[in-house]
Amino acid sequence: MQHPHDGGAGDLLEVRGLSKVFGSLKACDNIDLAIARGEIHALLGENGAGKSTLVKMLFGSLEPNAGEIFWKGEPVVIGNPAKARALGIGMVFQHFSLFEALTAAENIALSLDRDTPIREIAARARDVSNAYGLPLDPFALVGDLSVGERQRIEIIRCLLQEPELIILDEPTSVLTPQEADKLFETLERLRGEGKSILYISHRLEEVKRLCDRATVLRHGKVVAHCDPGKETAASLARMMVGNEVVRATRPDAPLVAGTEILGICGLSRKPAGPFSIPLRNIWLKVHGGEMLGIAGVAGNGQSEFFEAVSGEALQDSADVIRIRGTSAGRMGINRRRLLGAAFVPEERLGHGAAPAMRLSENLLLSRFRTDARAFLGTLGVIRTGSTASAAKRIVAAMDVRKSGDDPEASALSGGNLQKFIIGRELDRQPALIVVNQPTWGVDAGAAAHIRQALIDLARSGSAVLVISQDLDELFEMSDAIAVMHHGQLSAPLPIAEATYERIGLLMGGADAAHAAAENA
């Protein structure tokens, strides 16, 4: 294993032997890391590798159990975030800490330690935003802003503290490819000024493009220090995961398209609440044996679309949604399920499953109507024997790890609960399944299992519609990809014609025809 570059005197930040233990879990084990001035340094690793824990120690949210931190050559103890900020370490989190009912300037004010008047903060925020190409209106209400704009508040808030090291945690997970490009410009400008950036990501192409050096973590340990420019995405992935990356297997050529299972004809929907996105004239067909992906950054109407297709929100006309030839637009979710459709929403706890209910009870949630004969008796009495054995069957089929015989849904980890929820639907062998974010927040092993299960379902002749923010996942699984932007859906691009660039342009709002003209 390489040692971080020698000559610690010039380094901005150096970490030696840093460790953190939670009970019996070694989240960070003897980590060495060095970041020079004016360097963009990547921190790579899968979910659970220890990146988050390491960074929390650098930012003062956690105390290390062992090891030392050196700042500009001097040993330091970073006891709390205020101390980190005082040293010159700033952090932009993946999950924003913003207040929707307050303005951008007020939000920034709340994170600064001093009592400066709002007007002054707004003026300084405007200066920073202009200087670094991060357009933002300080007096806009956060609730009205897009995700990309909200991230800019977080970045400006961080920059106002004048940090020398900026830690960014998965910043592009909420951006379109074009917005990500703008961010990279900003980061390169910062590097040019002599600031350093610690860039946490699992997106290998970005890291290769942007970062000068990388540290790879796996299971809490450093497995490599390298120059990402000299590596390939495959070699970086191998370092992160440890063996050949498991990719889902898909038949090379899509099967002959079967009959239309899902038909969406001119779906429009007015916004349901003050922060909802309207849907505008969506047309889509999914056939048996086909897997169609819908790409798009979160907040472009995916939830509204899912609710419209599932029947949680009814349409004005029955013909807008056709399931297996039947006009279903005025049918509620259970009648659509009786037509052979299954639905998996984005939110596991609180939507796809009831957290305080047991797995066998959560089985009933989506299947009491479709499986009434099996699971219910006279007067609606629940047949607990049947539900329990069905739950066991699903747990075995999807390899769900849990403690106890029939635990409450909230006791399962994200990946295991997602496996159960998808397994619950697959157990019915549905003709159509609509899934929103199948592997969000799910560990790599469970994610691969889920993707394979969906591919197998498509292969068996069912229609699969996957909505996902993860472009890699969609490229891996889909026969065609459509893009949702501001409530509108582009025409699907067959996978052979789809490139990251074209999809990225569509995600940013260019329409398919325009994109096609550009690439011709």
Q: Which of residues 197-216 bind other proteins (CB under 8 A)?
A: 200
Part of the chain binding other proteins (CB under 8 A), chosen from 105-113, 222-230, 285-293, 317-325: 105-113
- The answer to whether 416 touches 402, Cβ cutoff 8 Å, is yes
Count how many Cα atoms sit within 13 Å of the Cα of residue 298 in the half-sphere of its side chain.
Answer: 12
- The answer to whether 214 touches 207, Cβ cutoff 8 Å, is yes
165 binds other proteins, rule: CB under 8 A: no
Which letter does DSSP use for residue 379 in this model? G
Q: Lay out the sheet containing 326-327: strands in order across.
A: 279-287, 260-269, 321-323, 326-327
The owner of tokens 């009959």 is: 259
CA distances from 371 to 309, 364, 365, 367 (A): 21, 8, 11, 6
Part of the chain binding other proteins (CB under 8 A), chosen from 79-87, 185-193, 218-226, 488-496: 79-87
Strands (E), 414-490: 432-436, 463-468, 480-485, 488-489
**Site size for other proteins, by CB under 8 A?**
71
Part of the chain binding other proteins (CB under 8 A), chosen from 176-184, 239-247, 352-360, 447-455: 352-360
Q: Kindly tell me which residue out of 196, 310, 437, 478 binds other proteins, with binding defined by CB under 8 A.
A: 310
Part of the chain binding other proteins (CB under 8 A), chosen from 125-133, 248-256, 257-265, 366-374: 366-374
Q: How far is the CB of 343 from other proteins (least distance, A)?
A: 8
120 binds other proteins, rule: CB under 8 A: no
Pairing of strands 341-344, 480-485: unpaired
Q: What is the largest CA-CA distance in the chain?
A: 79
In the chain, the amino acid numbered 257 is A
95 binds other proteins, rule: CB under 8 A: yes
Q: How far is the CB of 365 from other proteins (least distance, A)?
A: 5
Positions 461 through 520 that interact with other proteins (CB under 8 A): none
Torsion of CA 160, 175, 468, 344, to 10 degrees: 30
Rounded to the nearest 5 degrees, what angle is found at the Cα of 173, between the Cα atoms of 170 and 176? Answer: 135
Q: How far is the CB of 407 from other proteins (least distance, A)?
A: 6
Q: Kindly tell me which residue out of 16, 37, 280, 351 binds other proteins, with binding defined by CB under 8 A.
A: 351
52 binds other proteins, rule: CB under 8 A: yes
Q: How far is the CB of 79 from other proteins (least distance, A)?
A: 9
3-state secondary structure of 422: helix
Q: Kindly tell me which residue out of 178, 368, 444, 456 binds other proteins, with binding defined by CB under 8 A.
A: 368
| Residue closer to other proteins, measured from CB, 188 or 347 | 347
Positions 391 through 430 that interact with other proteins (CB under 8 A): 407-408, 410-411
Q: Kindly tell me which residue out of 255, 365, 388, 516 binds other proteins, with binding defined by CB under 8 A.
A: 365
3-state secondary structure of 202: coil
Positions 235 through 264 that interact with other proteins (CB under 8 A): none
What token pair was written down for 345?
């929403």
Q: Kindly tell me which residue out of 30, 65, 94, 386 binds other proteins, with binding defined by CB under 8 A.
A: 94
Residue among 221, 245, 220, 219 nearest 232 (CA)? 245
Q: How far is the CB of 231 from other proteins (least distance, A)?
A: 23
Residues 6+ positions from 122 with CB-CB distance below 8 Å: 105, 138, 139
Q: Kindly tell me which residue out of 364, 395, 431, 498 binds other proteins, with binding defined by CB under 8 A.
A: 364
233 binds other proteins, rule: CB under 8 A: no
Part of the chain binding other proteins (CB under 8 A), chosen from 10-18, 67-75, 380-388, 459-467: 380-388
145 binds other proteins, rule: CB under 8 A: no
DSSP per residue over 462-512, as a string? Answer: -EEEEEES-HHHHHHH-SEEEEEETTEEPPPEETTT--HHHHHHHHHT--H
278 binds other proteins, rule: CB under 8 A: no
| Residue closer to other proteins, measured from CB, 136 or 200 | 200
